[in-house]
Structure 1
Amino acid sequence: MPATTGKLPQPEAMLFDLDGTLFRTETVLLPAYYAAFDRLREEGLHEGPTPPEERILGSLGMLLEHIWERVLPGSSPETRRRADELLLQNQLDLLEQGQGKLYEGVADTLRELHGRGVRLFVASNGLEGYVKGVIRATGVASYFEDLYSAGEHGTRSKVDLVRLLLSRHGIRTAWMVGDRSSDVEAGRRNGLTVIGCDYAGFRSAGELDGDDVRIGAFPQLLAALE
């Protein structure tokens, strides 16, 4: 594992994963998840108990189609589409009610980075409405130059999403900041410095192997800058 902190030159931009990196996903995901399955049962699209929450938490960072393959193996396309709709709407409702929470220190750290002139972006495999809804509801939208999601751009991997973002914004040097193997891969394959976030608890052992610097709390990002 790389050192917890190190001193690296300030990059032109930083690209952030959302769930498990900026946002405490479980603060809206779990209540939305259980409510979605209650509705699926009411509509006759699912029988039996709600799948264990560990399945959905362990799937964070994946594309939605892969999440439902894991959470609802063998389910119909209709059930998966409806589950998508319900989960998104429930999460957006909870965000509007003020239930979603950022990790400690995220807002202050983003404000500091923005003040230093670092261009800030989100790169997430989530749905467009969810990604934009989280950033808007948590009050940090003004710090970001743009928000990229697989749902909006139809990319098949985070590698492709990050490549598109870098190209469209003419970025030469950047850090990829995230908590899953997909973030490490996206950074590595696009020639970026990778900052591994080791505080969410959703990842499997070894997922952050290949990162350059690992942080145990979001504000430690500032300590990695020269």
Structure 2
Amino acid sequence: MTQAILFDMDGTLFQTDLILEPALEATFEVLRKERQWQGETPIEKYREIMGVPLSVVWETLCPNHSLELRNKSNDIFQQQLITLISKHRGALYDGVEETLAFLSERYPLFIASNGYIEYLAAIVEAYQLQRFIQQTYSIQSIASGNKSELVELVKTEHQIQGGFVVGDRASDIQAAKDNHFTSIGVRFDFAQDSELQYADHVVDSFKDIVKVI
């Protein structure tokens, strides 16, 4: 196996924004009831940092909370997300299934995501992505929480010599560069032009990935 394509999940394959607000709202509602939070849910702040490791998410959203409370908040958030996924409240981006079906006949495909194992498994199961994806890798596999090291893990385990990393954030682009892959940035919901400018290629439609590859 010499060439492969690695995909990010949130904001690349899966429209996380469809379940983000209700899951985050439910989490902070619990915190409000327990008098651990006052004011509105910081949804916009979360959108700004979407794609970073979840430990960073809760440090950013709840800087004055203890590690124990942050971990509890994250557990609630994860369960809310999974519940919404199981109810098909989320969705894949337009063209994802067709494009993955086409590419899977030509390349081994993998997911390398900052999402947690149970969360990613819920999406894969709900949308039957195992039809196209050989294996899903979570950032939980890497103690450092570094996306470049996660891509390196996939590369090593499957003896991949080159290929593509597809994602919407700077960490995806950097992971491609660090592992000598070609980066394809997707300009979807959470993407920022300031980060995508460093990608080797940028697409506005998932189907356009085929043209690049």
Into which bin does the TM-score normalised by the smaller protein fall?
over 0.9
1:187 aligns with 2:176: yes
Local SS of the residue matching 1:161: helix
Aligned pairs (5 A) from 1:139-158: 139-158=128-147
- Identify the residue that residue 55 of structure 1 maps to in structure 2: 45
What is the distance in 2 between the residues matched to 1:217 and 1:132?
Answer: 25
Specify the alignment match of 2:96 in structure 1: 106
1:34 maps to a residue whose letter is E
Structure-2 residue corresponding to 1:78: 68
SS at match of 1:186: helix
Q: Which residue of 2 aligns with 1:8?
A: none
Give 1:113 shift.
0.6
The alignment status of 1:24 with 2:12, answered yes or no, reads no
The answer to whether the 8 A contact 1:155-1:161 is kept is no
- Structure showing greater relative contact order (alpha-carbon pairs closer than 8 Å, 6 or more residues apart): 1
SS in structure 1 at match of 2:19: helix
Amino acid in the other structure paired with 1:179: D
Tell me, yes or no, if the aligned pair for 2:25 and 2:41 is still in contact at 8 Å.
Answer: no
Taking structure 1 as the reference length, what is the TM-score of the superposition? 0.89
Instruction: Give the Å deviation of 1:155.
Output: 4.0
* Residue range with higher mean Cα deviation, 130-139 or 103-112: 130-139
CA deviation map 1:48-95 (0-9, x unaligned): 123321111122110111111211112111221111111100011111
5+ long unaligned stretches in structure 1: 1-10
8 Å Cα contact 1:148/1:161 also seen in 2: yes
Cα RMSD over matched residues? 1.4
Identity percentage over the alignment? 33
Check conservation: 1:28, 1:94, Cα contact below 8 A.
yes
Partner of 2:31: 40
Question: For residue 77 of structure 2, what is the amino acid of its counterpart?
Answer: L
Map 1:84-163 onto structure 2 (within 5 A): 84-115=74-105, 117-163=106-152
Look up the match of 2:195. 207
**SS of aligned partner of 1:123:** strand
SS at match of 2:136: strand
Deviation of 1:172 after TM superposition, in Å, equals: 1.0
- Structure 1 residues 171-222: Cα deviation after superposition (integer angstroms, max 9, x where no partner): 112100000000010000110000011122x233410122111100100011
> Contact 1:98–1:137 (CA<8 Å) still a contact in 2?
yes
Aligned in 2, Cα 1:154/1:134: closer, same or farther, shift over 3 Å? farther
Q: Structure 2-normalised TM-score?
A: 0.94
Secondary structure (helix, strand or coil) at the match of 2:202 reads: strand
SS at match of 1:206: helix
Distance 1:83 1:152 in 2: 21
Structure 2 distance, partners of 1:56, 1:41, is 18
- What do the CA deviations read for 1:151-178 (whole angstroms, capped 9, x no partner)? 2443421011001110011011210000
Mapped to 1, the partners of 2:205 and 2:193 lie a distance apart of 18
* Alignment-derived partner of residue 171 in structure 1: 160
Q: Which runs of 5+ in 2 are unaligned?
A: none
Distance 1:205 1:179 in 2: 10
